[in-house]
C-alpha cells in the first residue's frame, strides 16, 4: 500500500466517523427499519455505508434529514425531481384532481390531456400509453418490438440501465428478465455493424440510452447513435430509445436534439410531475398492437392513468418544465460542468465531470470516456471521499458522484456546490491521480 493510499483510507475512516457522530437519528431509524426490510428500504440505490441518511422533509431544492441538517439537493430524486419538493403548481393540480375522486375506474379526462401534450412535445411519439414506471415502459416497448417484428433478439449495451429488471454489465444482471439479449459495447459503431452483419435477421430491436445514465453519464457519440438508426432500418428491426432520464436534457429529448427519430421511445421520471410514472410510444402502426379494438396485445395496470399523476404531469409540462425551461436548465448544467472541468484542469488533477445538460457525473481520470469499461481503473474510494466531503458542506449528491440540477435550485446553491468542489480539490488534491 502506498503512503497516499494509506492516507486516503485514514481520511475516509475519519469522514465516516464524523458522519456517524453527526447522524444518530438516521442511524437509529436505519437499524429499526432493517428489522422489517432488507437493507432498511425498498430501493437498493439509496443504500451506502455505514448507513444512509433518512430525509424528514423537503422544500424547493432543500432537504432536511432526521437529525435536522439542511442540504442543497443536487440529486433531485435521480432526475425525477426536476420540480423540486414543493412546487405550488404541482400541489394545486394534485389537490384539484383529488377533489374529483381518487379512483374513477374508467377512462378519465386527464389522461387524454397528458397524452396529447406528450405527442405534441415529442414528435417521435405518434401514439402513447402510460405505465407506473420507466421499467414497465421499457418492458412494454420490448414486448411490442418482439411482436411487431416476429423476431426474438434484443440488442442492448454494456452499462445500460432500463429499469429494475433490465440492467446490464457485460452480461444481463441477475435480476434481469430472461429475454434473448445480445449485449454489445456502448459507443462501438464497428461492433454494432459486425453484430448486425452476423445476426441482423434475428434482431427485433435495439434498446439504447442516448446517454448512459446509471453507468456514469456517458454520452452516446452522435455517429454511433446514427449508425444504430441506419442498421435497424436496413435490417427491418426497431430502434427503441430509452429517454426515461434523457428526455429532460433538451426541449424535445436528447435523441431529437441529435436528429435521430426512433421507432419507439420510453419516458418516465419527471414527466409525471414527480409521481410514479412511465410511458412508451412511437409509430402509430406499432402502437396499434395495443388498441383493444384491433390489436393482439393487452396492456394492464390499475394505476396507469391515475388522476394524481395525470394532473401533476400536465401541470408540470405546461406551467413549469416548458420546452424553453428545459433548454434553460440544460444550459445551466452545461455552464456548471464547463466551470467544474476548468477547475479540475487548473488544479492539475485527473478528475472530470461528464454528461449532458442538467445531469453529470464526476470521474477520477482524464481522457475521453466512451463506455463504462473505461472507468474500471478508477479508485472507487475517491467517489466516497467526494460524497462525504460534499455532505459536510451541506450538499446532497449521489455516492456514485452523480449530480442533477432541478428547476428551483438557486444560483447561490450552484455557487456553494462549486465552492465545495474547489475546497475538495484544495484539501484532497494530493490524494487524486495527477494529470499527465
Report d(CA 183, CA 157) in Å as an integer: 5
First-residue to last-residue Cα distance in the chain: 22
User: Per the structure block, which three cell numbers stand in for 236?
Assistant: 427491418
Nearest CA among 158, 167, 109 for reference residue 134:
167
State the Cα–Cα distance between residues 164 and 154, nearest whole angstrom.
17
- 239: which strand partners? 206
Catalytic residues: 161, 242, 269
Cell numbers for 52, please give them. Answer: 444512509
Cβ neighbourhood burial of 207 (10 Å; 0-12, 13-18, 19+): buried
Number of H helices, E strands in the chain: 13, 16
Q: What is the CA radius of gyration of the chain?
A: 22
Contact 53, 63 (CB under 8 A): no
Q: Pick from 116, 124, 155, 138: which is nearest to 254 by CA?
A: 124
Relative orientation angle of helices 307-315 and 109-121, to the nearest 10 degrees: 40
- Dihedrals φ, ψ of 154, to 5°? -120, 125
Helices (H), ranges, 59-108: 88-99
Beta pairing, strands 359-363 & 352-356: antiparallel
Element housing 233 (H / E): helix 222-235
- What sign has the CA pseudo-torsion 173, 177, 178, 184? negative
Nearest one of 106, 134, 105 to 207, comparing CA atoms: 134
Which 8-state DSSP code applies to residue 150?
T
Written as one string, the DSSP assignment of 376-407 is TTS-HHHHHHHHHHHHHTTEE--TT-EEE--T
**What cell was used for 91?**
400541489
Amino acid at each position: 500500500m502506498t503512503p497516499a493510499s494509506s492516507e486516503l483510507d485514514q481520511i475516509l475512516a475519519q469522514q465516516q466517523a464524523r458522519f456517524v457522530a453527526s447522524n444518530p437519528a438516521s442511524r437509529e431509524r436505519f437499524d429499526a427499519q432493517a428489522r422489517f426490510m432488507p437493507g432498511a428500504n425498498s430501493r437498493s440505490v439509496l443504500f451506502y455505508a455505514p448507513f444512509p441518511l433518512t430525509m424528514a422533509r423537503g422544500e424547493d431544492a432543500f432537504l432536511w434529514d432526521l437529525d435536522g441538517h439542511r442540504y442543497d439537493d443536487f440529486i433531485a430524486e435521480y432526475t425525477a425531481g426536476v420540480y423540486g419538493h414543493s412546487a405550488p403548481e404541482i400541489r394545486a393540480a394534485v389537490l384539484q384532481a383529488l377533489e374529483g375522486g381518487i379512483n374513477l375506474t374508467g377512462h378519465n379526462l386527464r389522461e387524454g390531456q397528458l397524452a396529447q401534450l406528450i405527442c405534441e412535445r415529442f414528435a417521435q411519439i405518434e401514439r402513447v400509453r402510460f405505465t407506473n414506471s420507466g421499467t414497465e415502459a421499457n418492458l412494454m416497448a420490448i414486448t411490442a418490438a418482439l411482436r411487431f417484428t416476429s423476431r426474438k433478439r434484443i440488442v442492448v449495451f454494456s452499462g445500460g440501465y432500463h429499469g429494475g429488471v433490465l440492467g446490464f454489465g457485460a452480461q444481463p444482471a441477475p435480476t434481469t428478465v430472461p429475454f434473448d439479449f445480445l449485449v454489445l459495447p456502448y459507443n462501438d459503431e464497428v461492433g454494432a455493424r459486425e453484430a448486425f452483419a452476423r445476426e441482423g435477421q434475428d434482431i427485433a430491436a435495439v434498446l439504447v440510452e442516448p446517454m448512459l445514465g446509471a453507468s456514469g453519464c456517458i454520452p452516446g457519440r452522435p455517429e454511433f447513435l446514427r449508425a444504430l438508426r441506419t442498421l435497424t432500418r436496413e435490417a427491418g428491426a426497431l430502434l427503441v430509445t430509452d429517454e426515461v432520464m434523457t428526455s429532460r436534457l433538451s426541449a424535445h429529448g436528447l435523441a431529437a436534439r441529435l436528429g435521430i427519430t426512433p421507432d419507439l421511445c420510453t419516458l418516465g421520471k419527471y414527466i409525471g410531475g414527480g409521481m410514479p410514472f412511465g410511458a412508451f410510444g412511437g409509430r402509430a402502426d406499432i402502437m396499434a398492437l395495443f388498441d383493444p379494438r384491433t390489436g393482439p396485445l393487452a396492456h394492464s395496470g390499475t394505476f396507469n392513468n391515475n388522476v394524481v399523476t395525470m394532473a401533476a404531469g400536465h401541470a408540470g409540462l405546461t406551467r413549469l418544465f416548458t420546452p424553453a425551461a428545459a433548454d434553460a436548465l440544460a444550459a445551466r448544467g452545461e455552464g456548471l460542468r464547463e466551470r467544474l472541468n476548468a477547475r479540475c484542469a487548473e488544479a492539475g488533477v485527473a478528475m472530470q465531470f461528464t454528461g449532458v445538460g442538467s445531469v453529470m457525473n464526476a470521474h477520477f481520470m482524464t481522457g475521453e470516456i466512451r463506455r463504462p469499461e473505461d472507468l474500471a481503473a478508477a479508485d472507487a474510494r475517491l467517489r466516497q471521499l467526494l460524497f462525504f466531503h460534499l455532505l459536510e458542506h451541506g450538499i446532497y449528491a449521489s455516492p456514485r458522484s452523480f449530480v442533477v440540477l432541478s428547476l428551483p435550485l438557486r444560483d447561490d446553491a450552484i455557487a456553494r456546490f462549486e465552492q465545495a468542489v474547489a475546497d475538495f480539490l484544495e484539501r484532497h488534491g494530493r490524494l487524486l491521480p495527477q494529470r499527465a
